[in-house]
């Protein structure tokens, strides 16, 4: 699949595209519909209004079909303008995306942002602004040096016992702060030979016990392709766990079908690493997708990138992490934004991340507190960061400060 491939006309009945009056918030009350292939899918009131306005010929069944969502993804300025007024900064940025991370927004995610104001967190995640065109001297296309750690195409082997396997460059929607913006959305596909070489590499390295299948987003691939990939990895005796990195439940929850669950269930233990940025992403549809995954027996974790003006305060983060736990997703990493080109408007100071962790620890359950990490520029890997809880540490004792500032001692024996 090609990220720039506008497979079908995104819009029908253009005469009805003017105006956008829905005032419903993400997560609005939902109606449950029955379908043959995916027994339970939902079309929320918000979605029903959006479909009626912008895709009047689409049926609920089409809306709930993930392939329809991909075919009708919004990839051009022209299409995006039909569903929402854009600012000059957004228009100029989209006009200059050639060779950069493309624009791609699923109709589902568009339904969450079509009536938002500029600066809305979900809108900023998927719609570029001119600041994205500015590259600061500290920013590099591949800040984590993934290419240098890639022994064969698709594999990144940075840590001793695990590998990253980027099986596709395609995502159903592109996040403007994507760490792999240098490679995702490009045409560079793995062919059969590349896959076989990657499987051989894992097979020949008996120290690899953990394979993270990522991309792009692996769940944009067909069930058959996923089955092929997962089967080959699972057949390698020393691979203990497989992980899939995906944002599909957030931007394309329709993808979590019973058939997909049945396909992936064959390859347990299989963990799913999700990626959430803001509490408003957790709609009824998203919750249903995550609950289906949890019911399938997949342990669910979430990574969040710390983003200026989107989630860089304690209350937003707490709300996000609490909502994640409600849908059985454990927040496990909070990332400092990587130094990719055009990310300056998203980056906060590291101090801000520490302040957020400090504002969470003690004030909410440990399950709601992810590990704050910096993925070190130059390929140094993830380095955990903690607020300063250690006041002094001698041979005899450690002096600690708790979340309220109380000083405590513990003997060092």
Task: Say whether 175 is catalytic.
Answer: yes
| 336-375 residues near ligand SF4, rule: CB under 6 A | none
Q: Does 255 bind ligand SF4 (CB under 6 A)?
A: no
3-state secondary structure of 253: helix
Task: Return the range that interacts with ligand SF4 (CB under 6 A); candidates 149-157, 178-186, 287-295, 334-342.
Answer: 178-186
Task: Return the range that interacts with ligand SF4 (CB under 6 A); candidates 68-76, 188-196, 211-219, 313-321.
Answer: 211-219
3-state secondary structure of 15: helix
| CB contact set of 249 (below 8 Å; sequence gap of 6+) | 255, 256, 274, 286, 289, 290, 293
Q: Which of 149, 159, 228, 271 is catalytic?
A: 159
Task: Say whether 159 is catalytic.
Answer: yes
Task: Return the range that interacts with ligand SF4 (CB under 6 A); candidates 14-22, 170-178, 339-347, 399-407.
Answer: 170-178
Count the Cβ atoms, other than its own, within 10 Å of residue 220. 25
Q: Which of 153, 203, 328, 382 is catalytic?
A: 382
Q: Which of 53, 104, 124, 180 is catalytic?
A: 180
C-alpha 359/C-alpha 356 separation (Å) is 5
DSSP conformation class of 151: S
Please, which residue, 58 or 251, has the CB nearer to ligand SF4? 251
Task: Say whether 171 is catalytic.
Answer: yes
Task: Return the range that interacts with ligand SF4 (CB under 6 A); candidates 175-183, 309-317, 388-396, 403-411.
Answer: 175-183
Please, which residue, 176 or 323, has the CB nearer to ligand SF4? 176
> In Å, what is the CA distance from 59 to each residue of 48, 62, 253, 331?
10, 5, 17, 35
Please, which residue, 215 or 296, has the CB nearer to ligand SF4? 215
Task: Say whether 178 is catalytic.
Answer: yes
Which among 344, 381, 376, 379 is positioned nearest to 139, based on CA atoms? 344
Task: Say whether 382 is catalytic.
Answer: yes
Q: Does 195 bind ligand SF4 (CB under 6 A)?
A: no
Per the CB < 8 A criterion, the answer to whether 303 and 335 are in contact is yes
Q: Does 184 bind ligand SF4 (CB under 6 A)?
A: yes
Structure tokens at 17: 């595209």
Applying CB under 6 A, among 53, 180, 243, 323 the residue interacting with ligand SF4 is: 180
> In Å, what is the CA distance from 221 to each residue of 110, 226, 258?
21, 7, 15
Q: Which of 49, 175, 247, 292 is catalytic?
A: 175
Q: Does 289 bind ligand SF4 (CB under 6 A)?
A: no
Task: Say whether 295 is catalytic.
Answer: no
Please, which residue, 38 or 179, has the CB nearer to ligand SF4? 179
Which among 384, 410, 387, 406 is positioned nearest to 397, based on CA atoms? 410
Please calculate the CA angle 337-373-406 and round it to the nearest 5 degrees.
120
Q: Does 175 bind ligand SF4 (CB under 6 A)?
A: yes
Please state the closest distance from residue 179 (CB atom) to ligand SF4, in A: 6
Count the Cβ atoms, other than its own, within 10 Å of residue 241. 15
Residue 10 phi/psi, 5-degree rounding, is -75, -20
Query: Dmax of the chain from CA atoms?
Result: 77
Q: Does 171 bind ligand SF4 (CB under 6 A)?
A: yes
Applying CB under 6 A, among 178, 256, 300, 307 the residue interacting with ligand SF4 is: 178
Q: Which residues are catalytic?
A: 158-159, 162, 171, 175, 178, 180, 338, 375, 382
Interface residue list for ligand SF4 (CB under 6 A): 171, 174-175, 178, 180, 184, 215-217, 247, 275
């Amino acid at each position: 699949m090609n990220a720039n491939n506008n497979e079908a006309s995104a819009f029908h009945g253009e005469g009805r595209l003017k105006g956008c009056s829905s005032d419903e918030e993400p997560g609005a009350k939902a109606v449950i519909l029955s379908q043959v292939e995916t027994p339970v899918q939902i079309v929320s009131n918000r979605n029903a209004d959006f479909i009626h306005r912008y895709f009047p010929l689409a049926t609920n069944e089409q809306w709930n079909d993930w392939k329809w969502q991909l075919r009708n993804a919004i990839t051009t300025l022209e299409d995006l303008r039909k569903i929402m007024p854009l600012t000059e900064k957004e228009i100029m940025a989209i006009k200059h995306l050639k060779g950069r991370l493309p624009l791609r927004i699923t109709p589902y995610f568009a339904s969450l942002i079509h009536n938002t104001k500029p600066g809305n967190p979900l809108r900023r995640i998927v719609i570029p602004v001119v600041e994205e065109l500015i590259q600061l001297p500290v920013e590099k296309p591949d800040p984590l040096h993934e290419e240098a750690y890639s022994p064969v195409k698709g594999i990144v082997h940075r840590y001793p016992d695990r590998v990253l396997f980027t099986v596709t460059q395609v995502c159903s929607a592109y996040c403007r702060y994507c760490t792999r913006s240098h490679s995702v959305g490009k045409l560079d596909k793995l062919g059969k030979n590349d896959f076989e070489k990657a499987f051989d590499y894992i097979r020949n390295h008996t120290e690899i016990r953990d394979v993270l299948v990522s991309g792009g987003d692996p769940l944009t691939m067909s069930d058959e392709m996923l089955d092929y990939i997962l089967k080959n990895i699972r057949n390698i005796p020393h691979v203990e766990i497989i992980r899939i990195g995906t944002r599909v439940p957030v931007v394309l929850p329709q993808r979590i079908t019973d058939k997909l669950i049945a396909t992936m269930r064959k390859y347990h233990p299989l963990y799913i690493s999700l990626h959430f940025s803001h509490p408003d992403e957790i709609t009824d549809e998203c919750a249903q997708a995550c609950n289906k995954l949890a019911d399938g027996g997949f342990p669910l974790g979430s990574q969040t990138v710390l983003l200026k003006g989107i989630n860089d305060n304690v209350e937003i983060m707490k709300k996000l992490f609490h909502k994640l736990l409600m849908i059985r997703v454990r927040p496990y990493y909070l990332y400092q934004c990587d130094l990719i080109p055009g990310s300056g408007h998203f980056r906060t100071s590291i101090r801000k991340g520490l302040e957020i962790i400090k504002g969470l620890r003690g004030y909410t359950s440990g399950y709601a507190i992810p590990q704050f990490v910096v993925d070190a520029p130059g390929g140094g890997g993830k380095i955990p960061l903690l607020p300063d809880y250690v006041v002094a540490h001698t041979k005899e004792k450690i002096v600690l400060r708790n979340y309220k500032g109380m000083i405590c001692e513990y003997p060092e024996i």
